[in-house]
Amino acid sequence: SGQKVCYGNFKRSCYKLAYFQDLSRRVGFQEARQACEIDGGALLSLESEAEQQLIENMLQNLTKSGSGISDGDFWIGLWRSGDGLATSSPCPDLYQWADGSTSPYRNWYTDEPSCGSEACVVMYHQPTANPGLGGPYLYQWNDDRCNMKH
């Protein structure tokens, strides 16, 4: 399930947000990716600061409704493949959009991506967390283990 919101002024005219306060309903990256594809879509690729702001506004509206705000990061369609392959490229350059788009736009949190075993990307949504070096953990991106449930 999720909330579908449509706009006419972006390349993708509709977005569907799924926000589960119930931890048992949260899923890993590949499960989220498959759920989007079954629905005829793809995990979100963000192409600009304007689109990032649009998504932030939608998430603020979504999490205001219902039973209050709780922590829970959102999967986006950025990930790093080819673990273990020899490469001369710096780790941040290895991230790609799951839908094949080529946008260079990034909104990493301070000191991210950390790479290593973390290859799938979430948009932070931790309103109750104490701010870190990069400020509140809200809407910036973080690489995480792909099997984490978000």
Stated pTM of the model: 0.87
What is 79-103 written as a DSSP string? Answer: EE--TT---SS-GGGGEEETT----
Query: In order of start, what are the domains of the chain with their CATH numbers?
Result: 2-144 (3.10.100.10)
Q: What is the average pLDDT value for the chain, to the nearest integer?
A: 85
- pLDDT tens digits, 99-141: 999 999 999 999 999 988 999 999 999 888 899 999 999 999 9
